[in-house]
């Protein structure tokens, strides 16, 4: 069965949470309508052994509790907003501070801890899902009644595409991404230090101690630990005072047909290529994972997974020098990201 649905859990208010299973060729993916969350991706290695390459949990209750956004669709504004506020059209909007003084991934609840409406479909012969959600004016402090749709398609060649669409009745910032944690060895099988990464990104955003971008233009990666223009192991520069990556990289050329990132793990022979229409990507090496008990009793310690979160620049609502992430009334907001899994 290429597409199926079953109960996954129950929220405290009695609403059912569903698990959606997609299968195409050698690849299987599962999603959940709570947080429009990507829960698993099962694929073979070069020896034909199949593993789940996404970090997460085996049951629903841990997803309903506090966790590091495993697989969640985060927003309204992903990443951080400095001081938990922004000014739009002369009015200040105050947001919930959930990361020190800053606002992170949509606030107290955000989209990643909301129950979406899920529908199954088949698009051009491939299993597909469509999650939709209405976010009311004033929710989490943001202006505008916002309608959002996320469409997921899994193809036989191992490509999982995510399309984000939104419309609002007022100008409002929006920055959607998926917060999947990958490990091409298989979840729980070790760190990502020996994963080789190539990024078509010539610039990145230096940050302060609270991970807010510093004033000024993006910095050149040349001669720094942030230079992945040629393939380099993720763990090459970690250590000796540098705890890992949690930085926004500027993508050199935007084309959803061409990958800006290629990750290879040669021990098991798996590769992940990512392409997007978004202007940037947050590369995160799981620096804050601290012994979380995951699937089947796996223990996720520091650097157990990596994230490539396609998005606008962090703190964009406060930075007129950054590309605007505003949704304009009457105009559809749209971005797409593709993850292509293959065997070396």
- Report, as residue numbers or ranges, the catalytic residues: 179, 309
Contact at 8 Å (CB) between 225 and 249?
no
Contact at 8 Å (CB) between 108 and 146?
no
Beta strands 16-24 and 27-32 are: antiparallel
What b/e sequence results for 133-149 when a residue is b if at least 16 CB atoms lie within 10 Å of its CB, and e otherwise? bebeeebbbbbbebebb
Contact at 8 Å (CB) between 219 and 203?
yes
Strand, coil or helix: what is 63? helix
In what helix (H) or strand (E) does residue 317 lie, and over which residues does it extend?
A: none
Contact at 8 Å (CB) between 141 and 106?
no
Q: What's the half-sphere exposure (Cβ side, CA atoms, 13 Å) at 124?
A: 5
Number of Cβ within a 10 Å radius of residue 108: 12
Contact at 8 Å (CB) between 327 and 168?
yes
Contact at 8 Å (CB) between 16 and 117?
no
d(CA 38, CA 61): 16
């Amino acid at each position: 069965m290429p597409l199926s649905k079953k109960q996954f859990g129950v929220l405290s208010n009695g609403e059912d949470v569903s698990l959606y299973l997609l299968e195409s060729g050698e690849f299987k993916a599962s999603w959940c309508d709570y947080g429009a969350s990507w829960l698993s991706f099962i694929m073979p290695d070069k020896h034909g052994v199949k593993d789940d390459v996404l970090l997460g949990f085996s049951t629903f209750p841990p997803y309903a509790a506090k966790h590091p956004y495993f697989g969640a669709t985060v927003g309204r504004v992903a990443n951080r907003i400095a001081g938990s506020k922004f000014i739009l059209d002369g009015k200040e909007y105050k947001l919930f501070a959930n990361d020190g003084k800053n606002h992170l991934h949509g606030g107290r609840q955000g989209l990643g801890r909301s129950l979406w409406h899920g529908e199954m479909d088949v698009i051009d012969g491939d299993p597909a899902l469509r999650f939709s959600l209405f976010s009311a004016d004033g929710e989490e402090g943001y202006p505008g009644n916002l309608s959002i749709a996320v469409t997921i398609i899994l193809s036989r060649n191992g490509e999982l595409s995510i399309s984000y669409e939104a419309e609002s009745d007022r100008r409002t910032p929006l920055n959607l991404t998926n917060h999947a944690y990958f490990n091409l060895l298989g979840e729980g099988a070790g760190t990502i230090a020996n994963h080789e990464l190539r990024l078509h990104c010539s610039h990145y955003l230096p940050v302060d101690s609270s991970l807010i971008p510093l004033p000024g233009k993006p910095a050149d990666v040349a001669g720094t630990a942030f230079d992945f223009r040629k393939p380099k192991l993720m763990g090459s520069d970690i250590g000796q005072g540098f705890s890992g990556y949690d930085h926004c990289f500027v993508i050199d050329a935007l084309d959803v047909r061409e990958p800006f990132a290629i990750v290879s793990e040669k021990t098991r022979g798996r590769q992940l290529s990512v392409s997007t229409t978004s202007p940037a990507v947050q590369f995160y090496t799981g620096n804050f994972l601290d012994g979380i008990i995951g699937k089947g009793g796996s223990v996720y310690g520091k650097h157990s997974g990596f994230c490539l979160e396609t998005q606008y620049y962090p703190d964009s609502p406060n930075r007129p020098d950054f590309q605007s992430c505003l949704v304009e009334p009457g105009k559809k907001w749209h971005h797409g990201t593709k993850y292509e899994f293959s065997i070396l």
